[in-house]
Structure 1
């Protein structure tokens, strides 16, 4: 019997590439996203992909879908990948942008986790993977909403791992750098060490298969940001301001 993987934010970018990678490896994939049209296109790429048109910020619809899931359809790997980035202006903070960003990047992750836990294939070492970002490692300009949301979800994943330690659930925190997706193509600045979505999907598949508790890629960006984090606080802030001016 094929193993089952659920991926949110599967209609484009890294989520789409990961869904196709798992399907190609023989997994049955529940591909979750809001866009029914994009999901239909994705499902046409591989018979193992089952499209699920669902808004993960709608907790009522989310609970209903999991309640309707057949009891035998236990999930072996769940990848909570859905997310968005909105840049803001510090002198006129857009409260609605913060609400939208946290609704998808944080609150939806918590809601998905709540309804996923009973659906995981307990006893068979299932994985709950949560996608965050390296963005919260450094104070990037105009990233108050996005970076804060990713800091929150990374902490959530790490704390969740502690509280699920008595179970056989592997909580995997995924913190990618810049991935070539429709979202990052909107950026108007240089993105160092940007990685193809297919390469990111392979890293995710291999890392989860190896039961990693944390994945960071590309490594060169991870190392660079770690080194910046070792700088004295005032020097780090001065460097951030200088980068903003470039």
Structure 2
């Protein structure tokens, strides 16, 4: 039997590579993103079905989920990957930037979980996977909006796993470091242990196939941030300030 997945943020970056990876391995892939043009291009690949959708539009999200349900679609994997990043100036906090960042990085994740998760229930081995980030492990400069949104996502997933422990749904939290995507290519600072996007997609695919509850990579960055988190609080803050300079 052919497996089916739905991937958000599929028009570029990690989401696009994951859509291609799953399709190449024989899955039916519902590719979700706002960019209809990029999805039409992606849909030329066998096994990929485009679903243009603004994930911040709850009414549209509910309508698409209901349409899939009416069509008898059963998801074996729901992979919520869509996200954005905006850096802010602490001396003049841009409230709109916080609203935009949380709208797609957190609120859309919660809404997509609510409306798409019922499509997993008829699967024999249902999986829910949500992409967060290592960014919330350490107080990086100008990351007040992005890091806070990813901290919210990680906590949401961990809490959800507790409450759905008896549901039969396997839940995975994905926390990558820096991945070479159009989003990170806008960064004007050094990104240690940068991972090629194809490699990132392969690691996520393998980790989910193995049923891992938490997928973190690259390991070197994860270990470094863990070590930094063990420092006394004031010393950790001092290190963070030095890294800003």
TM above 0.5, yes or no, is yes
Aligned to 1:10: 10
Partner of 1:150: 150
TM-superposition CA deviations, 1:175-215 (whole Å, max 9, x none): 00000000000000000000011111111111111111100
Deviation at 1:71, TM superposition (A): 5.0
Distance 2:131 2:194 in 1: 17
Secondary structure of the structure 2 residue equivalent to 1:68? helix
Give the structure 1 partner of residue 230 of structure 2: 230
Q: Who is 2:204 aligned against?
A: 204
SS of 2:49's partner is: strand
Equivalent residue, structure 2, for 1:48: 47
Query: 1:176, 1:218 within 8 Å by CA — same for their partners in 2?
Result: yes
Shift of 1:122: 3.8
- SS for the counterpart of 2:91 is helix
1:68 aligns to 2:67 (yes or no): yes
TM-score calculated relative to the size of structure 2: 0.98
CA RMSD of aligned residues (A): 0.9
Name which of structure 1's ranges 132-141 and 1-10 shifts more when overlaid on structure 2. 1-10
Aligned with 1:56: secondary structure? coil
1:41: how far off? 1.2
Question: Distance between the aligned counterparts of 1:25 and 1:200, measured in 2?
Answer: 16
Q: Is the 8 A contact 1:33 1:53 kept in 2?
A: yes
Q: Distance in 2 between matches of 1:108 and 1:226?
A: 28
C-alpha distance in structure 1 between counterparts of 2:174 and 2:197, whole Å: 14
Q: Which residue of 2 is the match for residue 24 of structure 1?
A: 24
- Deviation (angstroms), 1:124: 1.2
Unaligned runs of 5+ in 1: none
The aligned counterpart of 2:92 is: 92
- 8 Å contact kept, 1:122–1:168: no
CA, structure 1 residues 121+24, in 2 after alignment: closer, same or farther (shift >3 Å)?
farther
1:3-50 deviations in Å (ceiling 9; x for gaps): 101000000000000000000000000000000001111112x11000
TM-superposed CA distance for 1:72, in Å, is 2.7
Alignment of 1:143-182 (within 5 A): 143-182=143-182
**What secondary structure is seen at the aligned counterpart in 2 of 1:129?**
strand
Indicate the larger mover: 67-76 or 100-109.
Answer: 67-76
Which digits, 9 at most, give the CA deviation of each residue in 1:127-149, with x for residues without a partner?
11010000000000000000000
* Alpha-carbon shift at residue 125 of structure 1 (Å): 2.1
Alpha-carbon shift at residue 123 of structure 1 (Å): 5.2
Superposed displacement of residue 121, structure 1: 4.1
Equivalent residues of 1:122, 1:169 under 8 A apart: no
